[in-house]
Each structure stands twice: as C-alpha cells, then as structure tokens.
Structure 1
C-alpha cells in the first residue's frame, strides 16, 4: 500500500483539480466564444449588457455606435443597425431555379428558361454613352 503522505497528496490534488476544472472550462468556453464572435463580427448571447448600452447611445444621438468593452471607447458600426431582411415569396417556392445572373433576365422571371423574346426591351430613348440596346 502507498504511504499516507502520497495518498493525502493525491487526494488534495484531485480535490483541487475537481474544484478548478469547471472554472477552467468556463474560461476556455468564454474565450473561444469571444474569438468566434470577433471572427464573425456577430453578436453573441453574452453581450446583452452591451446591447442595452448601445440602445441608450442610439437613443441619445441617433447614430449607430459599437462600444468597445476592452478599451472603453465607442466606434461606428453598420452591423448593429436596425435593418430587417426579408426573403421573397418567389425564393420560397418549391422546385424553383432562379434565373442565372448572366442571362439578362430578372431573378423573379417566371420559368426563365422557357421565356422568349428580347432580354431587356427598352421603351425609352437611349444615348450612345449609355450603350443601350437599340
């Protein structure tokens, strides 16, 4: 059997490891989450106090500001703007292939591969500088 001091030392080191293990893991998770958020430049769930400060800053001067927590200064950011993104109904329809970008047809043209006729018919006048189709 092992000596009592070796057993005591092993038990103490095991207790220290079990006590500090979750804290170390939490620090690793927090750091990796911050690195991922910085790489994507996307807000995370841990930044909710930051949103409150940003909303207060927006209410005061009406400009989009991003507060840098580490350095304590604010900078402009387009990411935090209140924009809404929508998906068109045509993009949501099943079995629909959008028109290729170089085909000249609108993205929303119904069955663009079967469509005939001029690609971009103009009904207005055209100058030589614009190089419109005549």
Structure 2
C-alpha cells in the first residue's frame, strides 16, 4: 500500500468514501509544491482517462520556471455535485498543505499567491469553489 512509501514518493495522497461519495486524489509532492510559485491554476473535468462512471478532474498550473503547463494533481470521483466538488476543493488545498508544509495562498486574500483560478463552466464546481474560499 502507499503508506509504506516514503511521503515524498507517494502518488495516491487521499482516499475518501462516505455517504456514497468517493474521492481519490493523486499527486507527486515535488509537483504539488510548484503551485506556490504559480500565478494561475486551471481545473478541468476530463473524461478521456477514466473507466465506467469515474470522472477525472485535472489541476494544471503554468510554471514560469519551465515555461510550460504542468499537471500537479488528478482527482477522481463518480459524481459532479456541489457536495462532491466541495470535498474535492477541500482535499486539494488540505493535501497540498500537508505534503508541502505551506498553505495555498490567493493574491486577493493574502496579497500573494495565485492570481487566477480557472474552472470549467460547471456551476456546481464554481459554487463549491466559492463556498470553499468563504470557509
């Protein structure tokens, strides 16, 4: 199991299952840390790499150091409700904080950090992001 891997080598970072909602979050810690120097992140629902009911949510940043887009996280779930997206947003920020030791910051709140967060035209995803920021 992943728990036996050193923390800096783990790919599966979070597995949750409650009330019929499953969320799996994968990331490599050295890539996750790059979000702290990114100006923007893009969160995209994609269905190309999944099987059955599972949906993939890809988190991408533009990395100025390599002048290229970098996928830092993939999150999987079977549903696209506001509740599920809320769990996904919370898992994303909490996991990045846990694996890097640094909270994700937003320029409009902290005066530094991410300037922009792009999301799909998915209302539950956008609503959950707003609710997560308020919390």
Shorter-chain TM-score: which interval?
A: under 0.3
TM-score w.r.t. the length of structure 2 is 0.23
Q: Which has the higher contact order (CA 8 A, sep 6+)?
A: 2
Q: Which has the higher helix share?
A: 1
